[in-house]
Structures are given as C-alpha cells and as structure tokens.
Amino acid sequence: MANILRHTGINIGGLNPVNWIFREDVASFTWNETTLFCSVTLKTGKSWSSIYGTPETMQLESEQQDTPGGVKFLYKLKILVPKDRAPVEAELLRMTGRRLILKAADKNGTIRIFGNMESPMKLSSKLLKPAAMETFNGYELLFSGEFSKPAGFLQLPNGPIPDDENQN
C-alpha cells in the first residue's frame, strides 16, 4: 500500500481558467484508472470555449457517496459571470440542456476534466439582480454531474505537471 505524503510545495486555492466543449465535439476521451490521468482529443476544427468568472468566485465542490449501486462522485462547479448582457444570455441558451465536458485549471497548475463521454456535465444558470446597487449583478452558473469514477487529471503532451512530493 502506498503512502499519502505531506505536500511540501505551494498550495494556492482558486480556479481560473475554466473551459468547456460540447460532448459531440470530442473525438476521443481516454481515462487511466490507475493514474487518474485522462486525455481529450477534439474533432478537427473544434476548440475549447472559455468562461470568464468574477475573480475569486469560481468554486468547486466534490463529494464521494456510497450507494447500493457502488461509489459515485458528485461534482458541482459554481461561477459568477458579471453583468446582464445579451451575448452571455445567448451563449447560456446554447449550452443549456446540452452535454458538456469542462476543463478547469487551479492556481497550482493542476488541470482536471469534469464529465466524460458517458456522463457529461450539465449547466443550470440564473440571473441575479439584487436591489442593492453595490452588490453583484450577473449570472450564477452551476455545472453539475454524477460519475462512477473521479474527475480525471489532464495528461499533457509533455507529461503530467511535476509535483514536488513525487520527485526524487
């Protein structure tokens, strides 16, 4: 059995950036159960779309649950997008009800993929316009999904991002 070692490097919170793509625009998706690394190859002419979120508002929650059918992993990613704007509303309309795969990087450089070909993420959103002028005006996006495996770590072409506790 392997040890879970103490992390000795820098550990900064926060996510940025977050990107998404429609599941049907993915040519191949592989996931290694041993390493938890995955790779995503997009169809020709397709690319990741980005989501701007107000700084310090992107929040990821993960929960592991035991169920009669086995362990499931629940992920929720919440993002606040500023200002009520027609281009944002149009893009949200295009994404709503569709199957999405997300790519999120944290401030440490770790990149994770949320959703897969069998179980993509789904979007729900709401417009927030509080009565107080100095509070947030914009959209709250909530991406959610339930999976039989944890979200994968993106396998980059040059290999994984080195982690100081795994280096000799």
Domain count along the chain = 1
Tell me which of 32 and 17 has the higher pLDDT.
32
pLDDT of residue 168: 40
pLDDT tens column, 46-80: 999 999 888 788 899 999 999 998 999 999 999 99
Mean pLDDT of 2-17: 61
- Answer whether residue 164 is part of any domain: no
Classify strands 111-114 and 152-154 as parallel, antiparallel or unpaired: antiparallel
Reported confidence tier of residue 164, pLDDT bands at 50, 70, 90: very low
pLDDT of residue 7: 53
- Answer whether residue 39 is part of any domain: yes
pLDDT of residue 108: 79
Nearest to 26 by CA among 92, 101, 77, 94: 101
- Answer whether residue 165 is part of any domain: no
- Answer whether residue 28 is part of any domain: yes
Residue 166 has pLDDT above 50, yes or no: no
pLDDT of residue 14: 65
* Spacing of C-alpha 42 from chain mean position: 17
- Count CB neighbours of 130 within 10 A: 9
- Answer whether residue 168 is part of any domain: no
Q: Which residue has the tokens 């309309």?
A: 93
- Answer whether residue 35 is part of any domain: yes
Whole-angstrom distance, CA of residue 130 vs CA of residue 18: 26
pLDDT of residue 149: 92
pLDDT tens column, 92-143: 999 999 999 999 988 878 899 999 999 999 999 999 988 776 777 899 999 9
- Answer whether residue 96 is part of any domain: yes
- Answer whether residue 115 is part of any domain: yes
- Domain range for residue 59? 15-153
Q: Which residue has the tokens 């169809």?
A: 43
